[in-house]
Amino acid sequence: GTLDIWVTIPEGKRTEEVAEILKKNIPTFQQSWIQSLITDEGYLFPDTYLIPKDATIDLISTMMKDNFQQKFDSAKNTKITNLTDRETIIMASLVEREAKADIDRPMVASVIYNRISIDMKLDIDATLQYALGYQTDEKRWWKKELTSQDKTINSPYNTYTNPGLPPGPISNPGLASIKASLNPAKTDYLFYISDANGTNHYAKTMAEHNANIKKYGL
C-alpha cells in the first residue's frame, strides 16, 4: 500500500552506502542505524525491497539478512572450496568489487582462491579502499587513485601486508559473486589486471602479468 516504499540496494556497496540509500528513502532513518548495520557488513543482500514507511532498523536488516540466507542456502550445494561460510562471503565481497562483468567473477574468485591455497598475499586494492574509508576530496567511499603509500597503511584490511582474507566482508555482494566464491573457475591463474574498458586479463606468472601490464598500457 501507500505506506510502503520501494528501495533498491545495488551490489557491492559498503554498509555506509546502504545507510545513505536508506536515509534518502526512509523517513524514520536515524544516524544510529549505521552502527547497527555495520555488524552485518556482507549480509545486507542487494535487491529491491518493499519497506514500510515507519520501519525500524531491526525490521530492515532482518529483511535483508533473511533474503541473504535464503539466496545463500539455495546456492550452497555448489560449493567446491574448503572455505567456511563466513570466508566465502568475505571472498564474495572482494569478487564483487574486483570483477566488473559476471563472466569475470568465477575467474577473479579462482585467483583469490589459488593465492589463499599457496599462502600468497592477495594484494587486492578494494581492501585498501575499504580501509581508507570516506574520501572527502573525492566525495566518495572508494578512493579512485591508490598510491604506493596507501599500500603500506596499518590495517587488518590491508591485503598487501597481511596474508589471507581480510577479517570481514568489505561490501555486500550479490548472488553472482557469492556463486563464484562457492564455485570458483578451475585455473592456474595468480594474477589479473583490468584494462581501460574494465576487461580483465589473467596470468599464471609474474612475467606473463608484466607482459599484460605492458600490452594493455597500464
Q: What local confidence, expressed as pLDDT, does residue 1 receive? A: 53
Provide the 8-state DSSP code for 6.
Answer: E
Task: Please report which confidence band the pLDDT of residue 141 belongs to, taking 50, 70 and 90 as the band edges.
Answer: very high
Q: What is the dihedral of CA 102, 88, 192, 209, to 10 degrees?
A: -150
Q: What local confidence, expressed as pLDDT, does residue 143 receive? A: 95
State yes or no: pLDDT of 87 exceeds 60.
Answer: yes
Average confidence score pLDDT of the chain: 95
- Quote the pTM value: 0.94
CB-CB contact of 178 with 71 (8 Å): yes
Q: What local confidence, expressed as pLDDT, does residue 55 receive? A: 93
State yes or no: pLDDT of 155 exceeds 60.
Answer: yes
Task: Please report which confidence band the pLDDT of residue 196 belongs to, taking 50, 70 and 90 as the band edges.
Answer: confident
State yes or no: pLDDT of 41 exceeds 80.
Answer: yes
Give the residues across from 48 on adjacent strands: 8
State yes or no: pLDDT of 73 exceeds 90.
Answer: yes
